[in-house]
Amino acid sequence: MKAVGISEEDVQMSPSTYVVTFLCEMIMAFVLAGILVYSGSVTIISGITAAIVIWGGFVLTGLIVNHKFQRASWMLTFIDAGHWLGVLMVQGAVYALISG
């Protein structure tokens, strides 16, 4: 919260924030699954590799552009980027595991 410049008192999320977050992450997981299916064999390694490539090409670059226009700190960019890298890698690995 320090990187964003807010306090714990400022953070009062409505339930709709969590619903929207869940829906967006489900869309992200389905798109990643579609890319993995399209690419051929789905293994844990290919799932994680695809996640890293997608993250580097789309998520990281988008975060950097948005954060620079918002004049956000590099620390916030690193925190957000790490979060989304973790999310995508877990999604890629989980999809590989359940697709067998």
Give the Cα separation of 81 and 87 in Å (integer): 10
Contacts of 88 (CB under 8 A, 6+ apart): 28, 32, 51, 52, 54, 55, 59
State the average pLDDT over residues 72-85.
96
pLDDT in tens, 32-67: 999 999 988 899 999 999 999 999 999 999 999 999
Q: What is the pTM of this model?
A: 0.84
Q: Which residue has the tokens 């290919």?
A: 46
